[in-house]
Structure 1
Amino acid sequence: MAGGSGGGQLSVPPGFRFHPTEEELLYYYLRKKVSYEAIDLDVIREVDLNKLEPWDLKGPQNEWYFFSHKDKKYPTGTRTNRATAAGFWKATGRDKAIHFTSNDHSQRIGMRKTLVFYTGRAPHGHKTDWIMHEYRLDDDQHHHNSQFQVNPSSLTV
């Protein structure tokens, strides 16, 4: 499994599988990343998803996790640039709210957006089997840097 921002291999005990819940991804990993807090085990690497194609991100398992900065399409706009050299990520369906529950109290902490990779250029791209889930914290959950996203990506067979 690839390691943290250095991009090298991470040494983990035999049998270790990184399979966090959505709540753990948002509350533990992404919240800590944007707050510059230490994360105990460096298992999510940082990549620029606009400079890499999904097939270049593959790891030894069928699911991979990355931190990535949001790239704006226009300097003063709010639209996100999701284009790569070979294609683009297109949002599909509705965003899903992610809740954190403790002591029988549930609080929304963020959202999950599902994206599908298309080769070529919009609007004539060709749909592929690559799917990415993009997680973002609610405004009251991030403290310093709201540009980070965590992207667990998977190839669907």
Structure 2
Amino acid sequence: MIVHYLINKILNRPLPSNAVKDINYIYHFDPDQLPISEFSGYCIPDQAYFFTQVVQGGRRTTKSGYWKAKASGSEVPVLYDDKKIVGFKKSFRFYSGDEKSNWIIHEYRVNPDLIPANAPNQILKSKIGSYVICKIQLKDLSD
């Protein structure tokens, strides 16, 4: 997802397919407000992928609940060809009030170390810091 979709999106390159849609700040939406059914031809049921921008430290509240980082709260490195760290994954679960839901978002971001520190393109650096690809899915509560 990071190598073939997110990096290409950031660099304004063609994408392998149109299976990933753009949505403005996904964390402002309850899961039932997202157009997940539009993905039935691309994904398994109750699963979808979105490009979105994030604000570091931004609130993840919606009209009826909030997206909360999973208990570990840490990012997991994503490897390409089992060698190079191309990005990081962080997971969030949707809560309605204090009640845990079955909806999960896995957020993937590009490893900023892929861009040299002396790279002159500030717009590119900004996009790497703010663009992510999210996989939202309905999961069993025991997960």
Give the TM-score taking structure 1 as reference length.
Answer: 0.69
Shift of 1:33: 0.8
Q: 2:111, 2:22 → 1: CA distance?
A: 21
The TM-score normalised by the length of structure 2 is 0.75
Cα distance in 1 for residues equivalent to 2:52 and 2:60: 11
Tell me the SS of whatever aligns to 1:113: strand
Residue 66 (structure 1) aligns with: 50
Structure showing the higher helix proportion among its residues = 2
The answer as to whether partners of 2:5 and 2:16 remain within 8 angstroms in 1 is no
> Partners in 2 of 1:131 and 1:116 — Cα distance?
5
Residue correspondence of structure 1 range 11-90 to structure 2 within 5 A: 25-48=1-24, 49-57=26-34, 58-59=36-37, 60=40, 61-70=45-54, 72=55, 78-90=56-68
Q: What's the secondary structure of 2:113's corresponding residue?
A: helix
Distance (Å, rounded) in 1 between the aligned partners of 2:77 and 2:16:
26
What value does the CA root-mean-square deviation take over the aligned residues?
A: 1.8
Alignment size in residue pairs: 120
- Segments of 5+ residues of structure 2 without an aligned counterpart are 116-120
- Kept in 1, the 8 Å contact 2:91–2:105? The answer is yes
How much has 1:118 moved relative to structure 2? 0.8
